[in-house]
Amino acid sequence: MSGRRDGRRGTARPAAPKLAGPKPAAPKPAAPKPGGRKPAASKPATGRPAAASGPGRDFDDDDEDWGFEPGERDSLTDVPGGVRLQKVLAAAGVGSRRSCEELIGAGRVEVDGEVVRRFGARVDPRTQIIRVDGKRIPASEDLVYLALNKPAGVLSTMSDDRGRRTIADLVADRSERLFHVGRLDYETEGLILLTNDGELAHRLAHPRYGVLKTYLAEVRGPVPRDLARRLTTGVELEDGTVTADRFRVVEQAGSRVLVEITLHEGRKHVVRRMLAEVGHPVSRLVRTRVGPVSLGALRPGTSRRLSTAEVGNLYAAVGM
């Protein structure tokens, strides 16, 4: 047995027994490897709720605009009880909530002429004008914009005291009070726009704005080579000269010729009268386009909602 010697007797003293002591301290965490990620330092509490990072974060109704530098704010006054801007954009069909936030962050959204970069900005979509990339969007959910394919034998009116079929019968499932933009003859088919946006409907129909309208017409042939020049130079009618903006022959088969004509005029029966005056009376007439909106493959007697882009292009066409 090992031990130390007693100085007086020269004998070995037994070693003191080892007592149980406190548990050894836990080892310190290993230092991060070179190039590794350092643990984030804790920050003192600020009293603000933690905000998720990135443009895709979601907002509650009482969210504020945490995380924005003072220089990024704008002078737009939030509307009390208004709707968050990104929610208005998403509801208008601009894109998903996340993509709308990215548009806002990139400075591509204006409210009443001012660029807004705050995701939480609150607006009134019924009274404020909102634009994306300079084009106005249909922000109010109360406004309706429809494209209708009017068949022949239907009146371009919302009612008829003689009980004849009208375009109102084709949209009888709609509860809104709709205006038709311009008219089509009783026997003329094709695109007619319907909306409850009174200002837009008025401007689209007003000659001052010169909104182009395109038609396909089946006429008697053959068609002379100089017909396009005659129509685009101007044809004299009983109520004044009318000029086509564009004209082309689409198809020609014997005595049947299909032509396309584009005008900004809105006079009664103007296409039929114009082509009859130059010796080519119309046997069938279909309107295929109004401004930026195309008839496409829409079936006769049916309607569809216009896209956000189509409505924005209509606004632009009439300076709204």
Amino acid at 259: V
Q: Which residues are catalytic?
A: 185
Rounded to whole angstroms, the Cα distance separating 216 from 259 reads 6
Rounded to whole angstroms, the Cα distance separating 55 from 100 reads 9
Rounded to whole angstroms, the Cα distance separating 138 from 132 reads 11
Where b means 16+ CB within 10 Å and e means fewer, 266-295 reads eeeebbbbbbbbeebebeebbbbbbbbbeb
DSSP 52-87: PPSTT----TT---TT--GGG---PPPPTT-EEHHH
Nearest to 72 by CA among 102, 123, 132, 116: 116
Rounded to whole angstroms, the Cα distance separating 44 from 266 reads 70
Nearest to 52 by CA among 41, 60, 61, 43: 60
Q: How many CB atoms are closer than 10 A to CB 122?
A: 18
Q: Which residues pair with 297 in a beta bridge?
A: none
Nearest to 247 by CA among 273, 278, 216: 216
Rounded to whole angstroms, the Cα distance separating 89 from 253 reads 49
> C-alpha distances in angstroms, 177 versus 103, 142, 143, 190?
33, 11, 10, 21
Contact 276, 238 (CB under 8 A): no
